[in-house]
Every structure is written in structure tokens, then in C-alpha cells.
Amino acid sequence: MTRAAIPEKGRPAEDLLTEMESYGVDDVDFKGGRTWSMVYWAGDDHHAFLEKAHNLYMAGNALNPMAFKSLKRFEAEVVQMTASMLHGPESAVGTMTSGGTESILMAVKAYRDEARRKWPWIVRPQIVAPVTVHPAFDKACHYFGLQLKKVPVDADGIVDPRAMERAISRRTVLLVASAPQYAHGVVDPIPEIGAIAARRGLPLHVDACFGGFMLPWLERLGVQMPTWDFRVQGVTSISADLHKYGFAAKGASVVVYRDMDHLRHQFYVSVDWPGGIYASPSMAGTRPGGAIAAAWAALMVMGEDRYMEHAEAAWDVAERLRAGIDAMEGLRVMGRPMSTIVTWTSTEAGIDVYAVADQLVSKGWSVDRQQKPPSVHLTCNASNAEAVDTYLADLKEAVAHVRAHPELADEGEAAMYGLMSKIPIKGLVAPAVRQVMEQMYAPGALGTPDLSEGPAAPEGALGKVQKIAEDLFRRWNRARSTSKVVRP
């Protein structure tokens, strides 16, 4: 085992920077437009500006707003600017967090604690949400001891509000909807869900982590979508990620509540620690000043005008993709055109989505495969504009190739994804993925495990599932890979 250790003597900074850059050569190429997720790239100039803004406050700690009045001000203004954009009432309040997941964790925790006060007889609190809500809600329920009741959606990913209402029980403490949901990019019917929430006296959290800083501009451009922000009376809180379409540095999101009656349940206070009285607004203890300052800087430098410009370009990318894909025989765009997410699936038995995906990967595209049904997901940005025509041409070729070679569905990655999406024994997948995680974080591990060297997978169904799970996990974590890095 070669385990890393701190060098005995510190090495020259310049050498290290060169070495560090070399570690990135295998990372996904997010500047060239061939990656459709994970990075929201607004260009080199914007990046250089963010770097400077981040560095000014990189050492700052927003855990103590008294000591860092600067950071308190940045955070307050970021929350206020977001609340204004989302048509929040004068009473709107909130905090910044490290990302969408933390914003969601905080909202779930706040409503759980609020419910404990209001409805102390509920011992097993429950959240009702469409099946398409982000897994951060499963995670929040897992962490905080709630149950997530999931309501099915139709073939376009749209939930029936009446089914949401029927799922409400005496244990329900929160309704959740998304604007838009990630898988198909549709905005849930929030006016109807909001009316149910108001009538039942339940809070409603809208997850706009993806769309928070995109949909307001699309709406102004005339894109048709349900109203989803604080204009819907039943909406009590919204999460919106600055590090997605806000074009901030990573580690920045906002959670905004209609008023302090909800936010106060997010705070944590401890008074008996020998170290003194400790109060913290969110999950984090030390809160990184750089991310907060860079988020403020991003909103200010972009302004409504540049957000609008980017939204128009990103929408154009999405519309060109939708038109091109819908014109292809055997494929269909899922959902409704309400956001900058494009999801396509197959309409022809002979065209296996995962086999087409394999073809796209071999042509150098980064592909996000989905399930239920098999589909491919694309997040559109202005930075993808130049790649659209090539993508459509490559996709067309890939479809034709798979049509001519249906056996490809049973080969390579497609076979594994195919089995995975049909597998009746899903209970076996999670333990297999956990096993891969243990390998990735094992003593001495540098990144993605080399599974070819690991112990042979067990025979039979479990072995198959394990292989699939391992493969999926490897892809999800490809960005972490350090496999080709040569250490000096």
C-alpha cells in the first residue's frame, strides 16, 4: 500500500500548481460544450472575476457575523436579491448554504421542528412529494427521521395534484414540489399544489435548486410555465442554487422562507458548551467567506440584463435540441418545453436508449443516462451552443447504427444499464454500490477503484447486479478519477 503523507519538506508552490493542473487532464471537458451537467460555465472572464471576488474573502468565516460584518452583509443582500427575484413578501427571510442539498436539508429540518411544536402528537412525520423530487429529500428524511411518500407522475413527468392530495395523511407535515424537477425539466403544477397546502394548513417547499436563477428569466422571455414562486400563496419556502444558473462559485445556494415563523426552526443554539454560547444558522459550523462573497459578486456582475442574455442563449440551445430530436424517427423528447432541461427517450422497440448512449460516448460526448424509462438528460447552457449541431448529427448517426445493429443492446455498457433498469431485485443494488464506496474510501485509495484487480464478483444474479452497480458508480464518479495521473 502506498499511502500519501505530508512531504517532510514543503515543495515549491509553482511546481505544485503545474502538478495540480496535470491532475485535471482526465476530467470532463466542460468548456467545449460536450458535457451537459455538473458545470455551469459562463466563460473565462466571468471565472477570473469570481476568482478575485472569492479570494478577497477566502479566509473569512461567516459563522460569526459580528466578526465578519462584510460577510453578513453579502449574505443578507444575496438572500434579499433572491427573495425579490422570487416575488417574496416584505417578510421574506433566509440564509445561504453550501449548496442545494444543504438548503433542502435545512428546510426539511425546519419544518420537522416546526411540526414538533405545532403537532406534537405526530411521532412519525411524513413528507408528500412527486416521485421526481431530488434525492436530497430522501437524504434529508434519512438523516432527520422522516418518511417520504412519493406520488407517481405521468409519461411527461407531471404529477396529478389530486393524487398529491390523496397521499396526505394525519402524519403529513410538509408538501414538496419542484421548479423544475431534474429528470424531465417540467415545473410541477404548483398553483394547484399550493391551493391544497393552504387549504390543509400545510407548508409547501418548492425546490428551485435547478431553476431558481433560470425560470424567472425564461418567464420574461414568454416561456409558458405554471406560476411557482411566492406569488402562489401556499408556497412557504424555496431553495435556489447560486452555483448553478446563478453562475456563482461552487458552494453557494439560498433557502428563502415566507417569514421568520418558519426560518426560526432552522437555527441551532447550544448554551452549555464550555467553549461558550454557540449559535449556527445552518448545517455548517465554519462558513466559507469566499463562496458567500463570490455569490454576491456573481449576482451583481451578471445583473438582470446578462442573466436574460444567457437565459435566451440557453433556451435557444434547448429548443434547437428539442426540435432536432423530435424530428428524428424513433426518438421522443419527454416533458413539456418549460426549462433548459432536455430529456429524450426511444419510441421504437429496436432502438435501445442505452445502446445509443454508448455510441454517443464513443463519439466523445459526456452522457447522463436516466431510468424509468431509459432516457438521456441534457442541461443546456450558452456554452453548449456551438456543440448542438454536432450533437444532433452524432445522435442521428448513433440511432441509425443501433437500428442496424439491435444486438448492441445486449453488449457493453448498454447491457448493464438495460439489466439495471429492468432488474426485479433492486434491493441488491444499494449494498453493491455501498461496497464500491467502501473501496473508493478504503485506506490508500486514490480515487476510482480499479475493479479489474478486485476480488471476482460472485456468480449469478448478485454478481451481475454488483457489476452493474459498480459500473454506474464509476461513471457517476468519473470526475474524481485520478487513474491516469502520474505522480512524480
Strands 172-178 and 126-130: parallel
Determine contact, residues 335/184, Cβ cutoff 8 Å. Answer: yes
Q: Residue 93 is inside which H or E element, if any?
A: strand 93-97
> Which of 22-30, 205-213, 290-298, 308-316 is the region at the interface with ligand PLP (rule: CB under 6 A)?
205-213
Maximum alpha-carbon separation in the chain: 72
Considering the complex, state which of residue 187 and residue 414 has its C-beta at the smaller distance from ligand PLP.
Answer: 187
Among residues 113, 207, 229, 358, the one that binds ligand PLP under rule CB under 6 A: 207
Residue 234 contacts ligand PLP per CB under 6 A:
no
Considering the complex, state which of residue 209 and residue 331 has its C-beta at the smaller distance from ligand PLP.
Answer: 209
What is the C-alpha to C-alpha distance for residues 260 and 112, in angstroms, rounded to an integer? Answer: 15
C-alpha cell at 397: 448517426
Considering the complex, state which of residue 34 and residue 134 has its C-beta at the smaller distance from ligand PLP.
Answer: 134
> Which of 8-16, 97-105, 314-322, 388-396 is the region at the interface with ligand PLP (rule: CB under 6 A)?
97-105
> Which of 93-101, 257-265, 455-463, 468-476 is the region at the interface with ligand PLP (rule: CB under 6 A)?
93-101
Q: Nearest distance from residue 228's CB to ligand PLP, in Å?
A: 12
Considering the complex, state which of residue 377 and residue 464 has its C-beta at the smaller distance from ligand PLP.
Answer: 377
Considering the complex, state which of residue 178 and residue 359 has its C-beta at the smaller distance from ligand PLP.
Answer: 178
Determine contact, residues 122/173, Cβ cutoff 8 Å. Answer: yes
Q: At what angle do helices 429-440 and 460-476 cross, to 10 degrees?
A: 50
**CA atoms 241, 90, 311, 179: torsion sign:** positive
Q: Nearest distance from residue 151's CB to ligand PLP, in Å?
A: 16
Q: Nearest distance from residue 188's CB to ligand PLP, in Å?
A: 11
Q: Name the residue number minimizing CB distance to ligand PLP.
A: 100
Among residues 113, 114, 188, 241, the one that binds ligand PLP under rule CB under 6 A: 241
Residue 184 contacts ligand PLP per CB under 6 A:
no
Among residues 107, 108, 129, 136, the one that binds ligand PLP under rule CB under 6 A: 136
> Which of 96-104, 219-227, 332-340, 359-367 is the region at the interface with ligand PLP (rule: CB under 6 A)?
96-104
Q: Nearest distance from residue 208's CB to ligand PLP, in Å?
A: 8
Q: Nearest distance from residue 15's CB to ligand PLP, in Å?
A: 33
Residue 210 contacts ligand PLP per CB under 6 A:
yes
* Residues facing residue 175 across a β-bridge: 128, 204
What is the C-alpha to C-alpha distance for residues 349 and 352, in angstroms, rounded to an integer? Answer: 7
Determine contact, residues 178/151, Cβ cutoff 8 Å. Answer: no
361: left (phi > 0), else alpha (psi -120 to 50), else beta?
A: alpha
Q: Nearest distance from residue 147's CB to ligand PLP, in Å?
A: 19
C-alpha distances out from residue 118 to 13, 148, 224, 262, Å: 56, 20, 38, 12
Q: Nearest distance from residue 439's CB to ligand PLP, in Å?
A: 23
Site for ligand PLP in 98-117 (CB under 6 A): 99-101
What is the C-alpha to C-alpha distance for residues 90 and 96, in angstroms, rounded to an integer? Answer: 18
Considering the complex, state which of residue 101 and residue 346 has its C-beta at the smaller distance from ligand PLP.
Answer: 101
Considering the complex, state which of residue 346 and residue 384 has its C-beta at the smaller distance from ligand PLP.
Answer: 384
C-alpha cell at 220: 420574461
Among residues 35, 126, 178, 236, the one that binds ligand PLP under rule CB under 6 A: 178
> Which of 26-34, 57-65, 203-211, 215-223 is the region at the interface with ligand PLP (rule: CB under 6 A)?
203-211
Determine contact, residues 206/258, Cβ cutoff 8 Å. Answer: no
Q: Nearest distance from residue 18's CB to ligand PLP, in Å?
A: 31
Among residues 134, 310, 377, 464, the one that binds ligand PLP under rule CB under 6 A: 134
Q: Nearest distance from residue 134's CB to ligand PLP, in Å?
A: 3
What does 334-393 look like in DSSP terms, one character per residue? -S-SSSSEEEEEE-STT--HHHHHHHHHHTT---EEETTTTEEEEE--GGGGGGHHHHHH
What is the C-alpha to C-alpha distance for residues 442 and 449, in angstroms, rounded to an integer? Answer: 9
What is the C-alpha to C-alpha distance for residues 237 and 411, in angstroms, rounded to an integer? Answer: 46
Q: Is the preceding peptide bond at 191 cis, omega within 30 degrees of 0?
A: no
Q: Residue 301 is inside which H or E element, if any?
A: helix 289-326
Q: Which residues, 6 or more positions from 393, have their beta carbon under 8 angstroms from its beta carbon? A: none
Determine contact, residues 164/193, Cβ cutoff 8 Å. Answer: yes
Q: Nearest distance from residue 370's CB to ligand PLP, in Å?
A: 13
Site for ligand PLP in 146-175 (CB under 6 A): none
Q: Nearest distance from residue 368's CB to ligand PLP, in Å?
A: 12
Among residues 209, 240, 317, 398, the one that binds ligand PLP under rule CB under 6 A: 209
Residue 369 contacts ligand PLP per CB under 6 A:
no
Q: For residue 339, which amino acid is it?
A: S
145: left (phi > 0), else alpha (psi -120 to 50), else beta?
A: left
| Site residues for ligand PLP per CB under 6 A | 99-101, 134, 136, 178, 182, 207, 209-210, 241, 253
